[in-house]
Amino acid sequence: MSEVTIYHNPRCSKSRQTLYLLEQQGIQPQVHLYLRDALSAATIKQLLRQLGFASARELVRSKEALFSELGLGADSSEQQLIAAMVAHPQLIERPIVVVGQRAKLGRPPEAVLELLS
């Protein structure tokens, strides 16, 4: 199996549950603490492709207060959304698990299991 990476926020219950689920499967993933080590725009674009998302809107946490505080909304461009996620990584939906060239959001945590088969 390819290396497994989780983009993890230890304060998020879904992220903790997803990490625990991977460990229960005997997998010790590479843990990327994206709030501490922010992602580049190129990495976010790559994750969007791996997730199969057509738009950055699918990866941004639009219900976060910061989203509206930054003046972001339905009319925000891809570039604006990606730039916001680079500058404010708390706007990135989590957790993201990557195996090879595929990725899944751990919402629900069990969704990542299909990457393991």
| Catalytic-labelled residue, pool 12, 51, 83, 86 | 12
Residue 56 pLDDT exceeds 90: yes
pLDDT tens track for 62-76: 999 999 999 999 999
pLDDT tens track for 93-113: 999 999 999 999 999 999 999
Plot region of 8 (φ>0 → left; ψ -120 to 50 → alpha; else → beta): beta
The fold adopted by the segment(s) 4-116 is Glutaredoxin (3.40.30)
The domains of the chain are located at: 4-116
The 3-state secondary structure of 9-28 reads CCCCHHHHHHHHHHHHCCCC
Active site residue 65: no
